[in-house]
C-alpha cells in the first residue's frame, strides 16, 4: 500500500525556488548518466552557460539545451514559475484558473493560459493498458443550461457536450482503481461500444446504469451487469458510485473554477482531472511523476 508523503510549499521552494535549481533538475532528469558530447562523441563534463538555458562541453564548447523538445522550449518565463504552476495543478483538487495564475505569478493572462495548456499536455491519457476487473461505466453532460437532458433543447440553448467515463474499481485481485475519461460526440450505442472495446478488456465485469446504449455489450463477450437508477442505486456490489463520484469532482471544478470550458479544449481539462484522480494515492510524489513526464513526453510545437 502506498504511503502518502506530503510535499509542502516550503519544501517546494527549497528544492525548486529558482530558475537555476529547476534547470539543473531537468538536466539530471534528461541525462541521468551524464552527457555524452555529440561533437566530441565521448562523455564530458558540462558547465552552465551564464544567462542561457544551456550547458557547454568543457572540451569543445558544444552547447546542450535540456529544454529542447519539452513544454519549456523557447519560453521566456522563468522555470520556477512553470514549476509553481505544476505544483498548483497537482495540489488543488478542483483545479486553478489561468486568471488566478495570472494574479499569483504576475504574468499576463496569455502567458498563464499557455502555461496551463502546456502542462495539461503532460497529463494526457496515453496509457494503452486495458481496464480489467470490475469496471464502472457511465456518461455525463457538460455545458448548456438545459435542466432535463431527456427533453428537447429549448430556444437558443447550446447542446451539452458528452463525456464518457470508465473507472476500474479498486480490488485486491486486480489492483488499484483507475479512470479513463473521453469527450465523445454522442451517446449512440456504437460510439459507446467503440470506446469500451478500445479500453476495457473482455475479461472485465462491466457495470452500467439501465441506459439502452449498452445493450450491445453482451454480444461482444462482456459480462454486463446494470442497476436501475429509477428503482435503486446499489444492488450488492452492482453500482456505479465510483464513476459518479468522479463526475462530482469534474463538474464542481469546471463550473466552480473555470466557469466555462470550450468544446475545443474540453478533453484537455478532462485529462487534468483524470490524471489527478489516477495518481492521487501517490500524495507528495505526484509532483515527481508529473516532472518525469516533462522528459518523456516530446512536445515540439506549442
Query: Quick one: what percent of the chain has pLDDT higher than 90?
Result: 63
Residue 47 pairs in a beta bridge with 56
Distances (CA, A) of 69 to 62, 171, 251, 298, 300: 18, 39, 33, 6, 5
Structure confidence at residue 143 as a pLDDT band (50, 70, 90): confident
- What distance lies between CA 195 and its chain's CA centroid? 18
- The SS3 of residue 159 is coil
pLDDT tens readout for residues 215-254:
999 999 999 999 988 778 888 889 999 999 999 999 988 8
296 close to 265: Cβ distance less than 8 angstroms: no
143: left (phi over 0), alpha (psi -120 to 50) or beta: left
Backbone angles phi, psi at 280, to 5 degrees: -65, -30
Arithmetic mean of pLDDT over the chain? 88
The predicted pLDDT at position 1 comes to: 45
Element (H, E) at 223: strand 223-227
- The SS3 of residue 40 is coil
Backbone angles phi, psi at 142, to 5 degrees: -125, 135
pTM > 0.95: yes or no = no
Pairing of strands 223-227, 178-184: unpaired
pLDDT tens readout for residues 22-44:
999 999 999 988 888 888 888 88
- Residue among 111, 119, 49, 55 nearest 83 (CA): 119
Query: Quick one: what percent of the chain has pLDDT higher than 70?
Result: 90
- Residue among 213, 296, 300, 239 nearest 29 (CA): 296
All structural domains of the chain: 134-261 (3.30.420)
The predicted pLDDT at position 293 comes to: 93
pLDDT tens readout for residues 64-86:
999 999 999 999 999 999 999 99
Distances (CA, A) of 39 to 27, 31, 54, 235, 291: 18, 16, 15, 67, 29
* Integer Cα distance of 284 and 298 in angstroms: 25
- Helix/strand/coil percent split, the chain, to 5: 40, 20, 40
- Residue among 264, 275, 301, 278 nearest 89 (CA): 275
Structure confidence at residue 213 as a pLDDT band (50, 70, 90): very high
- Residue among 214, 210, 138, 144 nearest 181 (CA): 138
* Integer Cα distance of 139 and 182 in angstroms: 9
Amino acid at each position: 500500500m502506498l504511503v502518502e508523503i506530503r510535499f509542502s510549499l516550503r519544501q517546494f521552494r527549497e528544492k525548486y525556488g529558482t530558475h537555476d535549481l529547476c534547470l539543473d533538475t531537468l538536466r539530471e532528469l534528461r541525462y541521468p548518466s551524464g552527457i555524452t558530447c555529440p561533437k566530441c562523441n565521448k562523455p564530458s563534463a558540462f558547465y552552465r552557460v551564464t544567462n542561457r538555458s544551456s550547458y557547454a562541453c568543457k572540451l569543445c564548447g558544444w552547447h546542450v539545451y535540456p529544454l529542447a523538445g519539452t513544454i519549456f522550449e523557447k519560453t521566456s518565463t522563468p522555470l520556477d514559475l512553470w514549476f509553481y504552476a505544476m505544483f498548483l495543478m497537482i495540489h488543488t483538487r478542483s483545479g486553478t484558473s489561468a486568471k488566478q495564475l495570472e494574479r499569483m505569478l504576475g504574468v499576463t493572462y496569455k502567458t498563464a493560459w499557455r502555461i496551463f495548456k502546456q502542462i495539461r499536455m503532460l497529463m494526457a491519457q496515453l496509457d494503452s493498458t486495458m481496464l480489467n476487473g470490475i469496471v464502472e461505466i457511465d456518461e455525463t453532460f457538460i455545458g448548456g443550461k438545459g435542466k432535463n437532458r431527456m427533453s428537447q433543447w429549448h430556444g437558443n440553448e447550446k447542446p451539452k457536450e458528452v463525456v464518457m467515463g470508465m473507472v476500474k474499481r479498486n480490488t485486491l485481485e486486480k489492483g488499484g482503481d483507475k479512470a479513463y475519461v473521453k469527450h465523445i460526440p454522442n451517446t449512440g450505442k456504437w460510439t459507446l461500444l467503440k470506446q469500451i472495446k478500445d479500453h476495457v478488456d473482455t475479461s472485465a465485469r462491466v457495470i452500467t446504469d439501465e441506459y439502452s446504449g449498452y445493450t450491445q455489450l453482451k454480444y461482444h463477450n462482456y459480462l454486463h451487469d446494470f442497476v436501475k437508477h429509477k428503482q435503486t442505486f446499489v444492488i450488492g456490489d452492482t453500482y456505479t458510485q465510483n464513476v459518479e463520484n468522479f463526475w462530482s469532482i469534474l463538474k464542481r471544478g469546471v463550473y466552480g473554477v473555470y466557469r466555462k470550458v470550450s468544446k475545443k479544449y474540453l478533453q484537455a481539462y478532462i485529462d487534468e482531472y483524470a490524471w489527478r484522480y489516477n495518481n492521487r494515492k501517490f500524495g507528495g510524489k505526484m509532483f515527481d511523476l508529473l516532472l518525469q513526464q516533462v522528459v518523456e513526453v516530446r512536445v515540439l510545437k506549442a
